[in-house]
Amino acid sequence: MHRFVFVICLSLLIGGVSYCVSAKEAKHDHVPVHDWGVDIALGYGAIENPLNKRESLETLVVPQWYYYGERFYIENLELGYTLFENDHFLLDLVGYLNDDGVLYNVDNKSVSILDISNLIPNVGRPFNGNRVEFENIKRKFTYMAGGQVFWLTEYVDVKLLYGKDVTVGHEGEETLLSLQKSYKIDKIRLFWEAGVQRKTAALNNYYYGLRASERGLRNDTDVTGKSLINYYVKIAATYRISDRVSGVISLRRTQMNDDLLMSPLLLEDNYLSGFAGINVHF
């Protein structure tokens, strides 16, 4: 189960490994409407883990699945319903996994297909209280529900996404604004995306604050009293070898707000995730 969770989380962090398409080209070329599509990417995939006493994660396999109806769609663990669509504008209702929870639920001891041990040293700034067992800290996945809007232009596509916790109970919210575009040159597709994420204090404190029981004190310790801004950039390229096989390379860098470094749970304020290999469509 943990191995399955890891490879799915990698596909979430990388996003769009298979065909790196823009919103205007959302339906995969090889998936007719109302049909399911399944891809298996074979190669090297990894997520750097910025959490204290957590390992970086690696795998050789990244699965993806998707379904596109007239309005309803599924892309891995993202569910969506299109309320309005034309050549220049899309409005969707969406549900998706928040990316902070990914870092707590893919421990390399349980999931590494390559069994590589890269323990992160304990150099976080500690709070007062008992010694924190960083490797035993647990946080749940947060599934977010909200909406997204795409503005599609000739030169760049603009995406605005809002989501709110509907599963854990911390009631955190996040808003994402990104610029993205894909380009097709014969058998090659290139894709880039750059974005900012605003995450509320409730969301940040759930993942990076400490519970009283985790540090031996009476009260929980929060890391912030305000919303914070994170940044990310993503690039990807595919080369179509045949109708079912493509060469793939994808890389994403996430820059977290440095205010979060006051948390002893966080060792670094940035991390990389990426994949390079072959994608096979079934």
pLDDT digits (tens, 9 = 90+) for 34-74: 678 888 878 887 778 888 877 777 778 777 778 888 888 88
pLDDT tens for 71-124 read: 888 888 889 999 988 888 889 999 988 878 777 766 544 433 323 222 222 323
Q: What is the mean pLDDT of the chain?
A: 79
Q: What are the start-end ranges of the H helices in 23-134?
A: 108-111
Q: In the 8-state DSSP scheme, what is residue 126? A: P
In angstroms, the CA 197 to CA 230 distance is 5
Number of structural domains, the chain?
1
Q: What are the start-end ranges of the H helices in 144-224?
A: 201-208, 212-215
User: What are the respective helix, strand and coil percentages of the chain, to the nearest 5?
Assistant: 15, 45, 40
In angstroms, the CA 244 to CA 157 distance is 27
Q: What is the CATH number of the domain that holds 8?
A: 2.40.230
pLDDT tens for 143-186 read: 999 999 999 999 999 999 999 999 999 999 999 999 999 999 99
Two tokens, residue 190: 């290139």
Range of the domain at 172: 2-281
Percent of the chain with pLDDT over 70: 77
Cα–Cα–Cα angle for 182, 247, 44, nearest 5°?
110
Q: In the 8-state DSSP scheme, what is residue 129? A: S
